[in-house]
Chain A
Amino acid sequence: MTEKTTMATATAEGEVFREKVLALAGEVVLTCIQCGTCSASCPTAHMMDTPIRKLVKLVLEGEKEAALLSRSIWLCTSCLLCTVRCPRNIRPMAVVAALKSIYEDEGMKCKDSVFEGIFARQIRNYGRISEVLLSAEYMIRSPSSAVQIMSFGAELVPKGKIELGFEAAKGERIEGTEEMKRIFDLVGDEKRAEAEKAEAVGEAEEATK
């Protein structure tokens, strides 16, 4: 038993980590009863190494490394089923979001975070995704993992799921990309968001007068 036994000292770092997650996802996470409704509801749970129920527990016990290194946080599709069904009104998805954000802050990197970064930036800049550009950039930034999914990509081309060619490579934009950027800027900066919202309300009131 001794060799398998791990120390469960709540380290100072673990403490700080837990507080960070609670600050982002809400103190209500403390009231988790580990019922498993979230994991059982999750549509991607079968692909996860750590079910979301366990992820929440890892956070509460200050197990920073295990929580951040779990691939589960990148497999979450933000469908919010967990959040809708949680009997204690915890938002498990918010815990995942908090973990992603801490991951970035810590300067950690993995193929999933790289992919998510490219994905998010394309949405920010163009308001939509260009499969060609996404694949191209992913190939440059994370060649080894990109090779793994290349054959899958090749299957998609004849089906018309991925458009090739010069037009596609230019990247199509939606209207109002400026607003898209502002949304991105405001996410994670609630104070500024609140301030802008108040400003907007004020302006609207002015206008009605």
Chain B
Amino acid sequence: MRIGVYVCHCGLNIAGVLEPSSLTEFAKTLPDVEVARDLQFTCSDTGQETIKEDIVEHKLDSVVVAACSPRLHEPTFRRVISEAGLNPFMLEMANIREQCSWVHMDEPPQAQEKAKDLIRMAVAKAALLNPLQGETMPVSRGVLIVGGGVAGIQAALDLADSGLHVYLVERKPTIGGYMALLTDVFPTNDCSICVLAPKMTDVYNHPLITLMTYAEILNIEGSVGRFTVSGVKKARFVDEKLCKGCINECAGVCPVEVPDEYEFGLGKRKAIYMPIPQSVPLIACVDPEACIGCGLCSEACPVDAVKYDQRQEEFRFDVGAIIVATGWQSFDPARKEEYGYGRFRDVITGLQVERLLNAAGPTGGEVVRPSTGEVAKSVAFLQCVGSRDETVGNQYCSRVCCMYALKNAPLIKEKYPDAEVSIHYIDLRAGGEGYEEFYMRAQRLGVNFIRGRVSEVEKVDGHLRVNYEDTLLGGFRSKPYDLVVLSAGLEANKEADVIGNLLGLSKRPDRFFEIAHPKMRPVEAHIDGVFIAGCASGPKEIQVSIAQGEAAAAKSMRLLLRGELTLDPVVAMVDTEKCIGCKLCVETCPSKAISVDKTALVDEAACKGCGTCAAACPVDAIDMRLFSDEQILAQVRAATAVKGQYPFIVGFLCNWCSYAGADLAGTSRIQYPTNMRAIRVMCAGRVDPAFVIEALKGGADGVLISGCRLGECHYSKGNYQAYQRVQVLRGVLEKVGINPGRVKIVWCAASEGEILAKEVRTFVRELKEMGPVGTELRVLGVPEPPGGDR
């Protein structure tokens, strides 16, 4: 191996604290180093040209750049060496700016020693680098969208318009979702179906959308770029090609009536039915549970479309990406027994009042008391039913209930100006463009706002009474109403569990699907090629669901439009000779990228390269590219080769948070002790206990492992696994008589340079109290000195 080392002055940024020329002389003494130079600005054109010339002239195999953070210029230097004919992965950087000269400005001699160690470590790794090639793979240009609500519809239209083929699979006989059933929608009071129906029709007519309604997905195999989806279209018992959608002919003669689920039980439908007048597709459907097989509809149908012998049809297709837009389900308000839903007919839900207000609803738009059929003269809206309520397991705010009550209360008030309409609330949340104005409009229309959560709804002398504490006026009140509307919250759709399980999606404690990052990656799932849009990942307004549908569509286009996928070569590799098929790695993998058939098999398209599996493997059969056991162990040995400082710490920093946090400490010039030699790993979960033991064996006084804050891991759960491993390892160390406090795991976000610096300071102090590694062994039998963190 012939290595070139380039030490950067970075003006005075590095040279102001360190001596690049003596670092260069030091580098020349290291094994395999063919050439070493210090350069004013390595990233400048002159610097780049020097490296390129050296690669050709000295026939270099790999290059070490000792300069700034690899998070800044690794892409630059990879490009430089590839322009000179080297494989771009034959590069290693020593971070002597952000993690050395900028954070040890007051201790140049110690910083110089640290820089030497960092260069020695980089050279050690550079000697073991292998050329890597990101494989390209053709991808399917199809996208599966699960769920035909507004988010799914929007995603389908955007994707199809971009030229990708869309398979839109909906469980119900029509698309449209909940939005198709609402009356006017906030904050503009547009008629919901009027703005949605054109989009539904567009979906039906688009040549690149295959619409499958009344269908279920039974299996999904494969990974990003090449999923295979299969399922069934249930029998409607109506020929789709023949049915003209006239519905009156068949439903008119049907003798069976059942509660209409599309009216939320307020109306009735026949056994042969059209879900909603604007159904897409406009095809009747026979409810096999209700149908008595009398044959009247079949006789009545003018085109003989009713087919009692229809069977379900299987389907199977390939897609490159999947958008999960499975939506939500209503909280069942009968669970709040004190509110009387299901006991008192005049206690209804927010969705039911949407139907009552809807001109196409069961009452033609009249808001009546279900018990008498008379128009309600006083209406109460009870907020937070099933939301912000731990007794029903829902800690979260459902986000839309305030706004829908603020919409429906004025709609009632406008229709019946004499009606008394009150909203009983805990907090009113009207955050959104035009929302506060919308709230003010409701106030001006004379809607009463009463602060205090209702304790119970009772029936006294045939009249509903609502009991509450008026927390603004003080005192307990009891108020009679004709109609009580429960603003039931939104819950995760239980029927989406099948899809979640097939794809291996993770869920939050609130049971909604978890997105890859709660802030920065709003529509991505943890699984590559899978996106989540709309209420599947939590309650959302229509406009946000639409935005998410669009975002998920854009993400799918980015993935598939080029027709091929370049895979990141930094993935796990399995040594099939060593593998014992124990499946520990399968459980560990956060990306569901490993399967076991006698031995483990890594799906390189799905693997994200965190390396948790490699650390978990009990027989070391899994190794990582670019972060192999051999390479990291070489770094550890190089770090501890000259133990120039006491206490001496070897650090393992996760690439995404802690390493970035350490860089931030540098750019913020936060000073901390020079005692740590940091090794970059992709995830704290990559840290194999063997690395830690190697460091201690080499004479390190302590090992610091730093990962993303709990709950914020780039790979979802890697930091938890790291934590578990460290706990086990500490137990083992204690048993052999080594102070377990020498191994420490901390959490540091990319924004927390100060925290990382503080942790190093603290650890140095703790290690000083413990004494050099091995002290405890010499005094074995005597109680341990204090400071052991157990």
**B476, A1: Cβ atoms under 8 Å?**
yes
Partner of A34, one of B467, B472, B476, B477: B472
Interfacial chain B residues near A60, Cβ < 8 Å? 448
**B479, A6: Cβ atoms under 8 Å?**
no
Using A30-B443, A30-B444, A61-B448 as known contacts, say yes or no to A9 and B479 having CB atoms under 8 A apart.
Answer: yes
Interfacial chain A residues near B278, Cβ < 8 Å? none
Which residues in B have some Cβ–Cβ distance to A below 8 Å? Answer: 420, 440, 443-444, 446, 448, 450-451, 467, 470, 472-480
10 A-B pairs closest in CB distance: A8-B477, A8-B479, A31-B443, A5-B476, A30-B443, A5-B478, A31-B440, A4-B476, A57-B472, A34-B472
Interfacial chain A residues near B472, Cβ < 8 Å? 34, 53-54, 57
A169 → chain B, closest Cβ, in Å?
Answer: 47
- The answer for the CA separation of A60 and B472 in the assembled complex, in Å, is 12
Using A31-B440, A34-B472, A54-B472 as known contacts, say yes or no to A5 and B477 having CB atoms under 8 A apart.
Answer: yes
Interfacial chain A residues near B448, Cβ < 8 Å? 10, 60-61
Which residues in A have some Cβ–Cβ distance to B below 8 Å? Answer: 1, 4-10, 27-28, 30-32, 34, 53-54, 57-58, 60-61, 63, 88
Interfacial chain B residues near A88, Cβ < 8 Å? 440
- The answer for the CA separation of A41 and B479 in the assembled complex, in Å, is 33
**B444, A6: Cβ atoms under 8 Å?**
no
**B476, A6: Cβ atoms under 8 Å?**
yes
**B467, A57: Cβ atoms under 8 Å?**
no
- The answer for the CA separation of A55 and B472 in the assembled complex, in Å, is 10
Of A8, A34, A58, which is in contact with the most chain B CB atoms at under 10 Å from its CB? A8
- The answer for the CA separation of A54 and B473 in the assembled complex, in Å, is 6
Partner of B475, one of A6, A10, A30, A53: A6
B266 → chain A, closest Cβ, in Å?
Answer: 28
Partner of B473, one of A4, A30, A61: A61
**A5, B473: Cβ atoms under 8 Å?**
no
Interfacial chain A residues near B474, Cβ < 8 Å? 54
Across the interface, name the chain B residue whose C-beta is closest to A18.
Answer: B446
12 A-B residue pairs with CB within 8 Å: A4-B476, A5-B478, A6-B477, A8-B470, A9-B480, A10-B448, A30-B443, A31-B443, A31-B444, A54-B472, A54-B474, A61-B473
Interfacial chain A residues near B450, Cβ < 8 Å? 61
B615 → chain A, closest Cβ, in Å?
Answer: 54
A88 → chain B, closest Cβ, in Å?
Answer: 8
**A8, B443: Cβ atoms under 8 Å?**
no
Of B448, B451, B473, B480, which is in contact with the most chain A CB atoms at under 10 Å from its CB? B473
- The answer for the CA separation of A55 and B268 in the assembled complex, in Å, is 49
Interfacial chain B residues near A58, Cβ < 8 Å? 473
- The answer for the CA separation of A27 and B444 in the assembled complex, in Å, is 7
- The answer for the CA separation of A197 and B443 in the assembled complex, in Å, is 34
Q: List 14 other contacts, CB 8 Å, given A1-B467, A6-B477, A34-B451.
A: A1-B476, A4-B475, A5-B467, A5-B478, A7-B478, A7-B479, A9-B480, A30-B446, A31-B444, A53-B472, A54-B472, A54-B473, A61-B470, A61-B473
B567 → chain A, closest Cβ, in Å?
Answer: 55
Interfacial chain B residues near A28, Cβ < 8 Å? 444
